[in-house]
């Protein structure tokens, strides 16, 4: 059975996580200078996928990505919940930080999130 992702939208922010698993046992935050209009939801899903791939071997890891829009860019917090009894280590922080700091990743996320049809997903409904 395919498990879906929970997307929580706030005024200028989104959080992507597994349903009921939005806890951040490990987290890394970065500021992204993004001036073009982007879909926060699409960007959050792309970051989640890359963090998931980077930590695929971490038993019990469930990724969480939170993005907040600010003047001049975005604040991104990526990390997740760890349900296994493994102790947290600097290695997890370093791997998540490497995903967020990679210029190729950042460029790809922005290109993907800039897609015109994606922008409709961040517009208020109703």
Q: Would you state the pLDDT for residue 77?
A: 97
Question: Which strand ranges, in their side-by-side order, compose the sheet holding 13-17?
Answer: 6-10, 13-17, 61-70, 73-82, 26-32
The pTM is what?
0.82
Sequence-distant (6+) residues with CB within 8 A of 82 are: 25, 26, 58, 60, 61, 62, 88, 92
Mean pLDDT along residues 48-61: 89
Position with higher pLDDT, 95 vs 2: 95
Please write the tens of the pLDDT for every residue from 67-96.
Answer: 999 998 999 999 998 876 666 667 888 999
Look at residue 125 in the predicted model and tell me its pLDDT: 44
Looking at residue 51, what is its pLDDT?
Answer: 94
Torsion angle (degrees, nearest 10) of CA 50, 54, 58, 64: -30
pLDDT by residue (tens digit) across 3-38? 688 888 988 999 999 887 788 888 999 999 988 889
The residue extents of the domains of the chain are 6-117
User: Does CATH number 3.30.300 belong to domain 6-117?
Assistant: yes
């Amino acid at each position: 059975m395919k498990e879906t992702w929970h997307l929580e939208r706030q005024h200028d922010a989104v959080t992507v996580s597994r349903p009921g698993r939005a806890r951040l046992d490990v987290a890394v935050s970065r500021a992204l200078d993004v001036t073009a209009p982007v879909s926060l939801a699409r960007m959050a899903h792309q970051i989640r996928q890359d963090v998931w791939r980077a930590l695929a071997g971490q038993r019990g890891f469930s990724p969480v990505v939170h993005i907040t829009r600010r003047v001049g860019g975005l604040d991104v917090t990526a990390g997740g919940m760890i349900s296994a009894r493994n102790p947290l280590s600097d290695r997890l922080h370093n791997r998540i930080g490497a995903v967020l700091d990679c210029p190729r990743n950042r460029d790809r996320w922005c290109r993907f999130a800039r897609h015109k049809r994606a922008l409709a997903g961040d517009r208020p409904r109703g």
